[in-house]
Chain A
């Protein structure tokens, strides 16, 4: 079946512009996560949704970052007034609501990411 998809794959923004990054999780996956991966680093948690509810946004670096998942499926990560330090790969992951068929509910499936470059 289809995996997690993200769009756009690449985004170049001028400093100060707003950007919106989209994530389409695997159908039926209740949990959705956003991570930020800076160059040469491991991914870092940004925020978590269970269905449409944003239950953890402790990793969002500033109030310029906003995420939503209004219908419990597609999610959008929005960054307002982008800064150079926002340049990174933004990863989306989804997971099952419960363990099933040998797949653990802890196992997250990642999309290919969106590479954001702020100039």
Chain B
């Protein structure tokens, strides 16, 4: 299993451009998440999904959009990129079950995005 894969690894955008960060998992997990990581700030949840066709906002959703048409894929869309969106973006997945022994989230390798 490849686990959680993300593309691209690096990207430089100009202010106002748009792009989609791709995330795919091959573990048949029903839960998927997008985080951004800024220095000294930890990881902040942008959006999450509990299954295909179901998405919801996290802590910092402004400027982003997501979709979940399949179990495997959870792309993150940036519209009208701004310098404040310069960050490292991580996708994660988990197979949460009520009372389960582990709620482990598996993370991808990240996408480093710079907006100039």
The reply to whether chain A is a binding partner of chain B is: no
